Structures are given as structure tokens and as C-alpha cells.
């Protein structure tokens, strides 16, 4: 097929411990999936979680053992981190049961749902879409994907983020309101899921701002680590 300009390369995430790469089709994110984070955002913690998307090329992939560099984005003075467990799908479908959803999982990674909180707040107030707050360039830093056949399916374990060595987020993935399989199952009722889809499963409490020079180190017990430095 003749295209009028060169087709962009697909976004990819390295698979840990191999030369293979996971090609990213879509990025789905779960909002308010930990009760204590919902409360710190001004909600009761009893509302159902919900979904939004980032473009696939918002990925900033950080190879194992390396430190990624996140350029401070424009038009914000309140860039927030949200450390999240990310699920990578190796297959998909529609209206998946919880059991079918588990079978679609290829692996897991540690990711950051970076947020221009000031622009997101303004969008909420005006009843406008969230893209300017959530879907900007490099807004989805992510470490390598660990295949489930190597690490299993994490159902509990610490989820933490340090900024410059100070603990900012410290919870447990067992505190998700909707667990991983339930999120996939629900999402598959809204969209047909496919291999290559990533799902950011929500952040625990403790979100806050970073500025150029800050080093974020996130970890999910049993999965891995992600190191990202904010640069000007
Ligand atoms: Mn988030």
C-alpha cells in the first residue's frame, strides 16, 4: 500500500530478560481504583472506578536497570506522579468473563500515569475531556514487561513510589477496588480488547507534584521497578 508519508513505528515496550518487544496497540487507564486515592481526590471511595485512554505513543519505555528521562511537559505547573501496576494483554475479546480475562494476560509492568493536575482539574470543573491533563507526550513511562509465565499473577504485594529517596506512595495492590481480572472483564464490555493493549490499573493514595531534577523510583512487589528522572 502506498501511504503519503512514512507510517510511524508502533510504540513498543521491551520484554524483560529477552530481546523481544511488546507492541502497544492501546493504553487504557482505570481511574480511582484505590479507595484512599479516591478520597484524597475529593470522592467517597465508594464510587465505581472508570476508564480513560492515553495514545500508544505516550509510552516512555525504560529498559531494565536504566533510568528514563521525562521532559517536564508544557502548559502546567502541577505535574503529578501516579504509580500503577500495568497489565499487558497477549489476547483479547469482547464481554470476557473474569476467568477469560485472566487468560488474556501476557504480563505485567510498573508504570506511571503522569498527570497535568492543574489542567485535569480545570477540565473536571468545566465538564471537558481529560486529554490535556492525561494524554500528553511521554505521559506513560513504563518499565519492561515481565511475562506472567515467569512471575505468575500478582494479587497482593507492596506498590510504592519514592521521590528523591522519600516515600510518597505506599500501599498494596490487594487494595484495588476492582481487581485486575474484574477491570479487564468490565473494560471488554465497553471495547473489544486485543493483543497489545495495556491497562494501567489505578494509583493508590499519596499522589503529588514533581519538578525538573526529581528522581522517581516506583516498584510493585513481585513485578519490578521503574526509575524515571524529570528533566527540564
Ligand atoms: Mn491513574
Nearest CA to 153 among 203, 115, 198, 107?
107
Res. 46: pLDDT tops 90 = no
CA of 42 to the centre of ligand 1 (A): 15
> How remote is the CA of residue 152 from the centroid of ligand 1, in Å?
23
181, burial (CB in 10 Å: exposed 0-12, middle 13-18, buried 19+)? buried
Express each pLDDT in 113-152 by its tens digit.
Answer: 999 999 999 999 999 999 999 999 999 999 999 999 999 9
d(CA 6, ligand 1 centre) in Å: 33
Q: By the 8 A CB rule, do 161 and 83 touch?
A: yes
Which segment of 7-11, 44-48, 76-80 scores lowest on mean pLDDT? 44-48
pTM: 0.97
**C-alpha of residue 135 to centroid of ligand 1, in Å:** 11
Ligand 1: distance of its center to the CA of 117 in Å? 11
Report CA(1)–ligand 1 centroid distance (Å): 38
Q: Which phi and psi angles does 11 have, rounded to 5°?
A: -65, 140
User: Given a cut of 90, is residue 45 above it in pLDDT?
Assistant: no
CA distance 1 to 199: 31
Burial 72-89 (b: 16+ CB within 10 A, else e): bbeebebbbbbbbbbbbb
Amino acid at each position: 500500500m502506498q501511504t503519503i508519508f512514512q507510517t510511524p513505528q508502533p510504540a513498543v515496550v521491551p520484554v524483560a530478560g529477552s530481546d523481544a518487544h511488546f507492541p502497544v496497540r492501546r493504553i487504557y487507564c482505570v481511574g480511582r481504583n484505590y479507595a484512599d486515592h479516591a478520597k484524597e481526590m475529593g470522592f467517597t471511595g465508594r464510587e465505581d472506578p472508570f476508564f480513560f485512554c492515553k495514545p500508544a505513543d505516550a509510552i516512555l519505555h525504560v529498559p531494565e536497570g536504566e533510568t528514563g528521562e521525562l521532559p517536564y511537559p508544557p502548559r502546567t505547573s502541577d505535574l503529578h506522579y501516579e504509580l500503577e501496576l500495568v497489565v499487558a494483554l497477549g489476547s483479547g475479546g469482547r464481554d470476557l468473563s473474569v476467568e477469560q480475562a485472566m487468560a488474556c494476560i501476557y504480563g505485567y509492568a510498573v508504570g506511571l500515569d503522569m498527570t497535568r493536575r492543574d489542567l485535569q482539574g480545570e477540565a473536571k470543573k468545566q465538564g471537558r475531556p481529560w486529554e490535556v491533563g492525561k494524554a500528553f507526550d511521554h505521559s506513560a513511562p513504563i518499565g519492561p514487561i515481565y511475562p506472567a509465565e515467569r512471575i505468575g499473577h500478582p494479587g497482593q504485594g507492596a506498590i510504592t513510589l519514592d521521590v528523591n529517596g522519600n516515600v510518597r506512595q505506599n500501599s498494596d495492590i490487594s487494595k484495588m477496588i476492582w481487581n485486575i481480572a474484574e477491570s479487564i472483564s468490565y473494560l471488554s464490555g465497553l471495547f473489544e480488547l486485543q493483543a497489545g493493549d495495556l491497562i494501567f490499573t489505578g494509583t493508590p493514595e499519596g499522589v503529588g507534584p514533581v519538578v525538573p531534577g526529581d528522581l522517581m523510583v516506583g516498584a510493585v512487589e513481585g513485578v519490578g521497578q521503574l526509575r524515571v528522572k524529570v528533566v527540564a
